[in-house]
């Protein structure tokens, strides 16, 4: 049953997540100002640098960032004008344009990825056991926000039709399996934004 102390923990978690989000935004703004870009343009460049050709499209960015295609197109046009991005005809489908980083764009993403490295080095300093608990909690939080329609498309193992687990209770000792790749998964293998994800029906 919910009592005062559980409500305090809930609020403390909320406040900590909010503070981390503010820190992300503030670091992004610093990088953005320094490189004369907006934070969302930086996020688009890093996104495109990490995606295979078939995912480097305006529609994919709009879906993954919860933005309208018109908003994404405006930011993409600015990046094209700055000669950091170019559109090319997809090798898979001639009707589709993919977004490719130019040489300048690739150089810039190497610098921008330092933004992620600073945060990743902090995460890396925590004990494995703590990180296991955190990833379990965060993945389940993402799924519950998805169910509540607060966030839309997030491709995590937990809602993938290829994901199999021994029972419905998700714990650190639980054994997982990816049926698509036919491999056992442990907590560290659980993915956010997996390219092979297929939503459960
Ligand atoms: S296909 Fe990707 S998201 Fe689905 S279970 Fe396998 S690793 Fe997880």
Global pTM value: 0.72
Q: Is the CB of 191 under 6 A from ligand 1?
A: yes
Q: What is the pLDDT of residue 100?
A: 93
Give the confidence band of 185 by pLDDT, cuts at 50, 70, 90: confident
Cα(173) to ligand 1 centroid in Å equals 19
DSSP state of 100: E
Counting from 1 in the atom list of ligand 1, the atom nearest the Cα of 176 is 5
Cα(69) to ligand 1 centroid in Å equals 27
Name the CA radius of gyration of the chain, rounded: 19
Phi, psi of 99 (to 5 degrees): -105, 120
C-alpha distances in angstroms, 188 versus 128, 130, 147, 176, 181?
Answer: 10, 12, 23, 11, 16
* Residue range 118-133: mean pLDDT, rounded: 90
Q: Ligand 1, from 143, 154, 157: best to mutate by most atoms within 8 Å of Cβ? A: 157
Would you kindly state where each structural domain of the chain is located, as residue ranges?
4-124, 128-189
Give the confidence band of 101 by pLDDT, cuts at 50, 70, 90: very high
Counting from 1 in the atom list of ligand 1, the atom nearest the Cα of 181 is 6
Q: What is the pLDDT of residue 169?
A: 67
Class of CATH domain 4-124: mainly alpha
């Amino acid at each position: 049953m919910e009592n005062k102390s559980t409500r305090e923990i809930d609020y403390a978690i909320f406040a900590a997540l909010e503070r981390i989000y503010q820190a992300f935004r503030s670091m992004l703004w610093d990088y953005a100002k320094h490189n004369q870009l907006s934070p969302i343009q930086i996020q688009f460049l890093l996104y495109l640098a990490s995606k295979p050709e078939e995912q480097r499209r305006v529609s994919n960015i709009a879906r993954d960032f919860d933005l309208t295609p018109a908003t994404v197109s405006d930011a993409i046009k600015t990046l094209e004008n700055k000669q950091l991005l170019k559109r090319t005809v997809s090798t898979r489908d001639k009707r589709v344009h993919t977004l490719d980083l130019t040489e300048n764009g690739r150089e810039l993403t190497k610098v921008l990825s330092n933004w992620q490295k600073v945060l990743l080095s902090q995460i890396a300093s925590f004990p494995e056991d703590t990180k296991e608990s955190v990833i379990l909690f965060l993945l389940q939080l993402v799924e519950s926000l998805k169910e509540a329609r607060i966030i839309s498309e997030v491709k995590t193992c937990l809602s993938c039709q290829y994901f199999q687990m021994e029972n419905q209770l998700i714990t650190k000792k639980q054994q997982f399996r990816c049926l698509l790749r036919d491999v056992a998964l442990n907590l560290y293998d659980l993915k956010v934004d997996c390219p092979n994800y297929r939503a459960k029906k």
